Amino acid sequence: MENMEEQKLQYLFGIHPVLEALRAGKKLDKVLLKQGLETPVFKELMDLMQKNGIPFQFVPVERLNRAVRGAHQGVVAYISRIDYVPYEMMIETALATDKNPVIVILDGVSDVRNLGAIARTLECAGGSGIIVPAKGGAAINADAVKASAGALMRISVSRVPNLRLAAYYLKQSGFKIIAVTEKVSRRMYDADMTGPCAFVLGSEGKGISSSMLELADDKVSIPMAGEISSLNVSAAASVILYEAVRQHMEA
């Protein structure tokens, strides 16, 4: 499944083409590297990837051989379908253009269809952007863009190596961090969602990480009346985002 998803992405291969792409500022989604690869050029490649926060992974050569047909030289890079923006720029723009800016932080959401559906709802609700982790989150591939109905091309997306740092910056910029979790009894209707807000949504399996919960200014749940105790994360995003829209309209 992972290899099939990778094949839907545009890619570069060969250590020098990938290095030149990085030097030219090309946006890369991730880089696969052959295990044991060590050369002076490789060191420069590693330095540039780390400087630009580009995720990379060491893999067996067989995986690289399956991914591309050609002399990959132990390096395969997947080109981003969107232009990521620094979260500082996203936040500055959001505050300058909206008195009630809304940003979504995805903590461990790994399904590309959920990511796309959340982006679509956020764009429809007038949200400002999505912050995703550089590692451990859903890939922004063709399926994600399709599920978003093109919303991922219209809203700001920031990919960060550390969600906590982005959350700290949001708090310092005047955003209220609201964690959406079924593990608390406080209902979403009791939270004040006016003003700048950032909603944290976690994976369906593990939920929001404890480190992100600790940073939250408020923790709320969506009322459940049925036997199933929680919603799909994209459905939960729709509910919470339109509660925010309701509060903004009434305010």
- Digit-coded pLDDT (tens) for 11-63: 888 888 899 888 887 778 889 999 887 778 888 899 998 888 788 889 998 98
Same domain, 73 and 160: no
Residue 214 pLDDT greater than 50, yes or no: yes
Closest CA to 128 of 156, 147, 150, 148: 156
Number of domains composing the chain = 2
Q: Given this model, what pLDDT does residue 81 score?
A: 76
Same domain, 93 and 70: no
- The pLDDT of 178-195, averaged and rounded, is 96
Same domain, 71 and 126: no
End residue of a domain, out of 54, 79, 104:
79
- Three-point CA angle 123, 208, 199, nearest 5°: 30
Same domain, 95 and 184: yes
Same domain, 74 and 117: no
Residue 40 belongs to a domain with what CATH number? 3.30.1330.30
Residue 180 in tokens? 């959406």
Closest CA to 151 of 135, 140, 139: 140
What is the rounded distance in angstroms from the CA atom of residue 75 to the CA atom of residue 66?
13
pTM: predicted TM-score of the whole model, two decimal places: 0.79
Residue 161 belongs to a domain with what CATH number? 3.40.1280.10
- Burial class from Cβ neighbours inside 10 Å (0-12, 13-18, 19+) for residue 21 reads middle
Closest CA to 8 of 123, 145, 125, 122: 145
Same domain, 226 and 162: yes
Q: State the residue for tokens 């799909």.
A: 232
Distance (Å) of CA 40 to CA 44, 47, 87: 7, 11, 32
Q: How confident is the model at residue 78 (pLDDT cuts 50, 70, 90)?
A: confident
- The pLDDT of 137-162, averaged and rounded, is 88
- Domain ranges, residue 72: 2-79
The SS3 assignment for 233 reads helix
The beta strand positions in 51-194, using DSSP E, are 56-59, 75-79, 102-107, 129-133, 156-160, 176-180
Query: Which is more confidently placed, 73 or 178?
Result: 178
Q: Given this model, what pLDDT does residue 9 score?
A: 52
Task: Classify residue 221 by its DSSP letter.
Answer: B
Same domain, 117 and 56: no
**Positive or negative: CA dihedral 192, 196, 199, 200:** negative
What is the rounded distance in angstroms from the CA atom of residue 210 to the CA atom of residue 214?
6
Same domain, 151 and 34: no
- Three-point CA angle 125, 131, 132, nearest 5°: 125
Mean pLDDT of the chain: 89
Please state, as a whole number, how many other Cβ atoms lie within 10 Å of the Cβ of residue 1: 5
Same domain, 69 and 108: no
